[in-house]
């Protein structure tokens, strides 16, 4: 995890309006909005590197309700499209969604089939960051 955080920090791209990291209280508010407890690794991600801008993928954020990556908005859209309600979206990618299970496992929900792709899974948000986001 520390290695992934370090890599993301090094690759963080400068942007005109930088994102901010959320506070714990903000995550409580986000949980209340989406009515789901955030898995531990997702909470860690949001608190430590959700302000990083890198590559073409834009994982969810929790500090700015006006952002197109704001978790409650991304979740509402994903669930409307058919992502199962118990999964928390991590990142939208061309209509598909990387989602987090309660145990922290990351899966790929494919819009074309409306189902989880059983061949695509990562042990945690940090494994997904390393294998997918950093490689994008």
- What's the domain count of the chain? 1
pLDDT digits (tens, 9 = 90+) for 18-27: 999 999 999 9
* CATH number, residue 89: 3.40.1580.10
Q: What is the mean pLDDT of the chain?
A: 97
- How far apart are the C-alpha atoms of 136 and 131, rounded to whole Å? 9
Residue-range definition of the domain harbouring residue 54: 2-133
Taken as a whole, the chain contains a residue count of 136
Q: What is the mean pLDDT of residues 98-110?
A: 98
- How far apart are the C-alpha atoms of 75 and 99, rounded to whole Å? 10
For residue 136, the model assigns a pLDDT of 86
In the structure, what pLDDT confidence band is assigned to residue 8 with cuts at 50, 70 and 90?
Answer: very high
């Amino acid at each position: 995890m520390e290695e992934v955080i370090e890599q993301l920090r090094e690759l963080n791209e400068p942007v005109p309006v930088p994102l901010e990291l959320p506070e714990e209280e903000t995550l409580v508010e986000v949980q209340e909005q989406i009515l789901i407890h955030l898995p531990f690794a997702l909470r860690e991600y949001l608190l430590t590197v959700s302000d990083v801008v890198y590559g073409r993928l834009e994982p969810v954020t929790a500090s700015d309700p006006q952002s197109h990556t704001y978790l409650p908005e991304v979740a509402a859209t994903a669930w409307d499209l058919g992502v199962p309600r118990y999964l928390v979206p991590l990142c939208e990618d061309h209509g598909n969604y990387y989602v987090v299970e309660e145990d922290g496992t990351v899966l790929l929900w494919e819009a074309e089939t409306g189902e989880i792709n059983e061949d695509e899974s990562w042990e945690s948000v940090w494994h997904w960051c390393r294998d997918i986001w950093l490689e994008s």
